[in-house]
Amino acid sequence: MLPAFPWDRLEPYKATAAAHPDGIVDLSVGTPVDPVPELVQAALAAASDSPGYPTVWGTPALRDALVGWAERRLGAGGLTHHHVLPLVGSKELVASLPTQLGLGPGDRVGYPRLAYPTYEVGARLARADYAVYDDPRELDPDGLRLLWLNSPSNPTGRVLGVDELRRTVAWAREHGVLVVSDECYLELGWEPDAEPVSVLHPDVCGGSYEGLVAVHSLSKRSNLAGYRAAFLVGDPAVLGELLEIRKHSGLMVPAPVQAATVAALGDGEHVAVQRERYARRRTALRGALEAYGFRIEHSEASLYLWATRDEPCWDTVADLAKRGVLVAPGEFYGEAGRAHVRVAFTATDERVRAAVQRLAG
């Protein structure tokens, strides 16, 4: 049985926030609100006359773009088309990966104690067991088939350093555990002493991708959540198996989205522009929250501030909702988050200003 969909529990608080005379400031879900870059829109439009079925593996141009970006941005060398695989958004992969890998009863999936809820959902859908961790090396490796890493973290924004990643990779290889690293926020690091690094970086993996897969998305760095554009990079043996399964399942990225992805990965200017928008919003919200009595923990990267007043998270949600500000209760991400809230800075500049003013008043 699946857990209740967490966001449904937020509806009464959303109604309270929406009743504010100046409207709601929704900082609960990290959905992009800024425009899709024009060059991406143009690429999508130019490929709109695509009457035939796309391929699951993607066009050669798309695979070239994925390889090129991974080499430039992740520092991963020696990649070929067999090291990459496009996805119909990253969430479908997270939810279905244990099933696609053939996991079932008796197999175990490990994921962080504070984590995106879909890691658990994926294990449940496969009828596999799951275990949470603070340090993955403390997990019992018996029956552990899949180990999720998440850096930068959703919800906390915590970044795993090179040494920590290297130790985890070595441990997983020693025990024959597949490591899948959710790195969807990798291009959104904010602190110079906590720069996000991929599990595929040679300083982490030693130049070998055996037993390692990284998940990446264009939803946040390019405002393409509505396009469902994401991809995998890593062990060609694992990706080859997934490719065959996904061919049978018809998991195809639409041809216009493939063309848009090529354009987005080939341009860094729009990413820099978007980062600057988020940096301004982050600074404004962090200052307002701290002045209101919150303590911000971790939050070195990603699109969220992990905030606490050392009170039950639903009390915090209720208090902020009365001011017309909606945030996500930390309990959504595990019991360890029950005294925290996650505050997204994906609202417009105008709505962020409104939130700052309300917290100051």
CB atoms within 10 A of CB 235: 22
Q: Which strands sit side by side in the sheet containing 328-329, from one edge to the other? A: 295-297, 304-308, 340-344, 328-329
pLDDT, tens only, 192-215: 999 999 999 999 999 999 999 999
Which one of 3.30.70.100, 3.40.640.10, 1.20.1640.10, 3.30.465.10 gives the CATH number of domain 49-266?
Answer: 3.40.640.10
Task: Return the domain boundaries, the chain.
Answer: 6-35+270-360, 49-266
pLDDT, tens only, 76-124: 999 999 999 999 999 999 999 999 999 999 999 999 999 999 999 999 9
What are the residues whose beta carbons fall under 8 Å from the beta carbon of 217, sequence distance 6 or more?
Answer: 89, 90, 184, 229, 230, 231
Q: Which residues of 188-205 are buried (b: 16+ CB within 10 A; e: fewer)?
A: bbbeeebebbbbbbeebb
- Phi then psi dihedrals of residue 317, to 5 deg: -60, -45
Residue 230's pLDDT is 98
What is the DSSP secondary-structure string of 19-41? TSTT--EE-SS----SPPPHHHH
Q: Are 90 and 215 in contact (CB under 8 A)?
A: yes
Q: Average pLDDT in the 246-261 region?
A: 97
Which helix (H) or strand (E) segment holds residue 229: the answer is: strand 229-234
Residue 271: burial class (beta carbons within 10 Å; 0-12, 13-18, 19+): buried
Tokens of 303: 């699109």
Q: Average pLDDT in the 4-18 region?
A: 89
Q: How far is residue 184 from each of residues 97, 132, 138, 249, 314, measured CA to CA in Å?
A: 16, 20, 25, 24, 27
pLDDT, tens only, 147-164: 999 999 999 999 999 999
pLDDT, tens only, 314-347: 999 999 999 999 999 999 999 999 999 999 999 9
Spell out the SS3 assignment of 136-189: HHHCCCCCEEEEEEECCCCCCCCCCCHHHHHHHHHHHHHCCCEEEEECCCCCCE
SS3 content of the chain, % helix, strand, coil (to 5): 45, 15, 40
Q: What percent of the chain has pLDDT over 90?
A: 97
Strands 108-112 and 129-133: parallel
- Reported as a pLDDT band with limits 50, 70 and 90, residue 5 is confident
112 prior amide bond cis, ω within 30: no
What are the residues whose beta carbons fall under 8 Å from the beta carbon of 332, sequence distance 6 or more?
Answer: 6, 7, 117, 155, 342
Tokens of 70: 């991974």
Largest distance between two CA atoms of the chain: 59
* Angle formed at CA 119 by CA 69 and CA 309, multiple of 5 degrees: 100
Please name which of 309, 306, 314 lies closest in space to residue 12, comparing C-alpha atoms. Answer: 314
Cα separation, 253 vs 230, whole angstroms: 9
Residue 199 has, within 13 A of its CA and on its CB side, a CA count of 32
Evaluate if residue 1 carries a pLDDT over 70: no
Cα separation, 143 vs 150, whole angstroms: 21
Give me the CATH topology for the region 6-35+270-360. Aspartate Aminotransferase, domain 1 (3.90.1150)
